[in-house]
Structure 1
């Protein structure tokens, strides 16, 4: 028995190794930002996402509003539009 564990069939010992994915992650991030382009505005993107959520939860009928309120009370959804789903 070795410090790495029991011997494998055929007398082979397991080999310890590590893989550092740091350089791969940096390359992935570089490609992702390059794909977004130089005109990408993260603040505008977030603002647009918030507006889309507000629209998603607007104009609810009574049953949808009740379910929305339950989900907010349970902490599943954030409160939007000053206490009502319609913003």
Structure 2
């Protein structure tokens, strides 16, 4: 923690006219530990590239076989930036 100059503020209950004091908390160590625990929970066989590939396949399946109205709505959502532009010229897979 790094102390700072007192912050002007209202009177505190523990004494009249005592200003509040600011400080910083460094969570770097906690963040490193959190990330290490996440990676341990995922296991050694976790393959992030394969996970992303599976997500892409799921999106391709989700947006495949759209009828004309669904395709129009899909195109509107892509144009509005709600959905990302997909490979294939921005059209859902047929």
TM-score (norm 2): 0.77
Q: If each structure's strand is expressed as a fraction of its own residues, which one has the higher value?
A: 2
Measure, in 2, the Cα distance between the counterparts of 1:24 and 1:35: 16
In structure 2, the residue matched to 1:46 is: 52
TM-score (norm 1): 0.82
Q: CA-atom RMSD, angstroms?
A: 2.0
The question of 1:8 aligning with 2:8 is answered: no
Unaligned ranges ≥5, structure 2: none
In structure 2, the residue matched to 1:85 is: 92
Unaligned ranges ≥5, structure 1: none
Q: If each structure's helix is expressed as a fraction of its own residues, which one has the higher value?
A: 1
Verify the 8 A CA contact 1:54 1:81 in the aligned structure 2: no
Q: Between Structure 1 and Structure 2, how many residues are aligned?
A: 86
Which stretch has the larger CA shift, 14-23 or 40-49? 14-23
Measure, in 2, the Cα distance between the counterparts of 1:10 and 1:42: 53
Measure, in 2, the Cα distance between the counterparts of 1:76 and 1:51: 19
Q: What is the CA distance between 1:76 and its match in structure 2?
A: 2.2
